[in-house]
């Protein structure tokens, strides 16, 4: 009897371990960022979605849309690879329609959208759904009486596909030159986290990225990501919040789902960022 109990407990623990390891339902990941640029009673909530790759969560994208709505965002940020290499754009369009009217939506491209060879149609679809596309540009808005600049940059693949012969990094610096004088909290949307050293030249307070899919495989407390594109094995920016002094970088592990490439201890995530005022911090 004692032996049977031991076997049952072992099987039970193994089942729990495997369930947790391969759990692939959507989760909400929350971050809080303090800034001296906002008053104590001011806050801004951004919901960050990255790397959908056209996947569909529930009928008509209802699961994902509902989860976004429940967070009551002030801004929705789409950080690239929302569409994918292959048409159709069904999953993307369902998401865009579902979040219309919830909050202002901003989008930057990812590499996969360029690899589709149909970037124009993808951007037309996104624009048609009331989304502001940021391509080396920015928007200044007021949320809860707080001034916020939301800027964004095209994926570096844009340069290769447009064949303009321009240097992406130079273009980035030119686009946001002088932004430092603007009295506002400044957020940059940029798909690829590994280019953080470039983003640091732009005088931003917060950078939001995706692209890594969380490094695909994680081991709680031991390994934050096994492999990520453009960073390789044991990527330094696989997912999470990174403090660079005056700049905070948040990397979403994305909402990608591919049954052929399982995510381990790494469920798809809807990221919620609360920017909160704290006048004790030097702006
Ligand atoms: Fe990507």
User: pLDDT tens, 158-188?
Assistant: 887 675 557 899 999 999 988 888 889 999 9
- Domain span at residue 273? 27-277
Q: How far is the CA of 112 from the centre of ligand 1 (A)?
A: 6
In a domain, 102, yes or no: yes
Nearest Cα to Cα of residue 210 among 226, 232, 195: 195
Percent of the chain with pLDDT over 90: 83
Q: Which helix (H) or strand (E) holds 43?
A: strand 43-49
Instruction: State mean pLDDT over 226-236.
Output: 96
**DSSP 8-state code for residue 269:** E
Q: Is the pLDDT of residue 211 over 80?
A: yes
Band of the pLDDT at 257, cuts 50, 70, 90?
A: confident
Q: Is the pLDDT of residue 258 over 90?
A: no
Q: Which residues surround ligand 1, an ion (CB under 5 A)?
A: 81, 110-111, 211
Q: How far is the CA of 250 from the centre of ligand 1 (A)?
A: 15
3, burial (CB in 10 Å: exposed 0-12, middle 13-18, buried 19+): exposed
In a domain, 14, yes or no: no
Report the pLDDT value the prediction gives residue 182, as an integer from 0 to 100.
82
In a domain, 45, yes or no: yes
In a domain, 3, yes or no: no
Crossing angle, helix 90-98 and helix 62-70, to 10 degrees?
A: 30
Token representation of residue 188 = 């940059």
In a domain, 17, yes or no: no
Mean pLDDT of the chain: 93
Token representation of residue 223 = 């390994």
Count of other CB atoms within 10 angstroms of residue 39: 13
The pTM of this model reads 0.95
Instruction: State mean pLDDT over 38-48.
Output: 96
Report the pLDDT value the prediction gives residue 165, as an integer from 0 to 100.
59
DSSP, collapsed to helix, strand or coil, labels residue 80 as: coil
In a domain, 203, yes or no: yes
Q: How far is the CA of 39 from the centre of ligand 1 (A)?
A: 35
Nearest-angstrom CA–CA distance, 189 and 210: 9
What angle is formed at CA 57 by the lines to CA 98 and CA 52, rounded to 5 degrees?
A: 80
In a domain, 123, yes or no: yes
Q: How far is the CA of 100 from the centre of ligand 1 (A)?
A: 24
Count of other CB atoms within 10 angstroms of residue 182: 14
Q: How far is the CA of 84 from the centre of ligand 1 (A)?
A: 9
Band of the pLDDT at 39, cuts 50, 70, 90?
A: very high
Strands 185-189 and 146-152: parallel
User: pLDDT tens, 119-157?
Assistant: 999 999 999 999 999 999 999 999 999 999 999 999 999
Whichever domain contains 110, its CATH number is 3.60.21.10
Count of other CB atoms within 10 angstroms of residue 188: 26
Total of domains in the chain: 1
Q: How far is the CA of 111 from the centre of ligand 1 (A)?
A: 5
Q: How far is the CA of 82 from the centre of ligand 1 (A)?
A: 9
Find tokens 């929350």 and name the residue. Answer: 30
In a domain, 2, yes or no: no
DSSP, collapsed to helix, strand or coil, labels residue 258 as: coil
Cα atoms found within 13 Å of the Cα of residue 253, Cβ hemisphere only:
28
DSSP, collapsed to helix, strand or coil, labels residue 197 as: helix
């Amino acid at each position: 009897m004692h032996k049977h109990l031991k076997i049952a407990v072992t099987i039970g623990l193994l089942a729990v371990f495997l369930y947790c390891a391969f759990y692939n339902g959507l989760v909400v990941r929350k971050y809080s960022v303090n800034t001296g640029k906002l008053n104590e009673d001011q806050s801004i909530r951004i919901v960050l979605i990255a790397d959908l790759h056209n996947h569909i969560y529930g009928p008509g994208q209802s699961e994902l849309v509902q989860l976004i709505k429940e967070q009551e965002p002030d801004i929705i940020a789409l950080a690239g690879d929302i569409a994918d290499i292959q048409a159709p754009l069904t999953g993307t369009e369902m998401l865009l329609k579902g979040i219309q009217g919830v909050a202002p939506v901003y989008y930057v491209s990812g590499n996969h959208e360029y690899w589709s060879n149909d970037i124009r149609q993808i951007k037309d679809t996104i624009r048609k759904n009331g989304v502001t596309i940021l391509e080396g540009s920015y928007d200044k808005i007021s949320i809860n009486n707080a001034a916020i600049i939301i800027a964004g940059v095209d994926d570096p693949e844009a340069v290769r596909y447009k064949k303009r012969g321009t240097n992406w990094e130079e273009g980035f610096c030119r686009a946001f030159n002088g932004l430092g004088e603007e009295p506002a909290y400044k957020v940059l949307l940029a798909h690829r986290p590994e280019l953080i050293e470039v983003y640091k030249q732009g005088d931003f307070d917060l950078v939001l990225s995706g692209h890594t899919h969380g490094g695909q495989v994680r081991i709680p407390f031991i390994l934050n990501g096994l492999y990520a594109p453009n960073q390789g094995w044991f990527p330094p920016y696989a997912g999470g919040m990174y403090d660079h002094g005056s700049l905070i970088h948040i990397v979403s592990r994305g909402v990608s789902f591919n049954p052929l490439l399982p995510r381990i201890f790494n469920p798809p995530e809807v990221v919620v960022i609360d920017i909160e005022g704290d006048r004790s911090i030097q702006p």
